[in-house]
Every structure is written in C-alpha cells, then in structure tokens.
Amino acid sequence: MQQPIEKLAIASDHAGFELKESLKEYLIQSGRVINDLGPENGDSVDYPDYGVRLAQAIATREADRGVVMCGTGVGMSIVVNRFPEIRGTLCSDVYTARLCREHNDSNVLIMGARVVGMGLAQAILSTWLNTPFEGGRHQRRLDKIKDINAILSKGEL
Ligand code: RB5
C-alpha cells in the first residue's frame, strides 16, 4: 500500500535561515510538501519563538515531522524537546541521522547551521527522511519515555 505523503514543517532562527532556505529548495525539488514556519528573512530573532512554532505544528498534527535549525542546534533541541510529543534529535552526521530514525523514531531533525555545511546537511536530511523506525524493543523504550513516572516509582534508581 502506498504511504500517504508526509507533511513536513521547517523553521529556524536567523543563524539557521540560509540553511533553511536551501533545504526548503532541496525538499521542494524532491517533490515534498513543506510548511515553512519562518522566519522570512535573516533578521535577528529568538530561537524559542520558532522552535515552539515548529513543535506546536507537530503536536497538533498540522505536520507529521519537522526540520529545525539554529546556530549550533542546541537551543532548538532544548526548546522542541519540552513538548512530550516531540522526539527531537540533533544530528551532525549521517550515522546519527539513520540511527535516530531506526531506534528513536525521531520526528524532529535538528541541525546546527554553524556546525554542518550545506552538502552534509542535505545528506543528513535525506537519510533522516528515508529511514524507517525499526519498532520492536525500541518501541518499548520509547513507551518508557512517555511514562517516566513508572520508572521513578520502581524506586530502583
Ligand atoms: C544565535 O546567535 C544562537 O545563539 C542560536 O542560533 C543558537 O545557536 C542557540 O542555541
């Protein structure tokens, strides 16, 4: 059965703006539907504003997955992972991009525009988009993240 076309959201701050524009172009050329949540230019903005926008789009199912960038990717990582629906993964290499899909079912790809170049960012994105989640024991572990209180209440830590 053919998979429905995924809705992707993309956002950045000013430090990630150029990379966002370039990856958006790359995604459009590959036939993807993209919801660009801003910013519209490289003027200085605060990364939490755009990280929250992107996380919210996924939490409300307006988008299936998201791609978000700031200078290092660290600020965006902190912001998007405040949302329980988000499994945001900061990637600077293709190996992590593959494993965070196979093992962690990453639904937000985070990159540092001051860390990765354009070519590497494209390779990371393409790997992340095309790698399926493996499920099985990894799903059990994700279920534990959803219910952290169950681990705490065991009192074994
Ligand atoms: C902006 O200068 C920079 O702090 C931001 O893009 C990000 O790297 C924060 O974590």
What's the rounded mean pLDDT across residues 130-138?
97
Least confident of 102-106, 124-128, 148-152: 148-152
- The distance between the two most distant Cα atoms of the chain, rounded to a whole number of Å, is 52
Strands 7-12 and 33-36: what pairing?
parallel
CA distance 29 to 52: 27
Nearest alpha-carbon partner for 60 in 126, 97, 9: 9
| Position in ligand 1 atom list of the atom nearest CA 16 | 6
Give the percent of the chain with pLDDT over 70.
Answer: 96
Domain chopping of the chain, boundaries? 8-154
Radius of gyration in angstroms for the set of CA atoms belonging to the chain, rounded to a whole number: 16
Ligand 1 touching residue 74 (CB < 6 A)? yes
Structure tokens at 37: 């949540």
Active site residue 70: yes
What's the rounded mean pLDDT across residues 3-32?
93
Active site residue 103: yes
CA distance 121 to 126: 9
Architecture of domain 8-154 in this structure: 3-Layer(aba) Sandwich (3.40)
The pTM of the full predicted model, rounded to 2 decimals, is 0.95
41-69 pLDDT, tens digit each: 999 999 999 999 999 999 999 999 999 99
Ligand 1 touching residue 47 (CB < 6 A)? yes
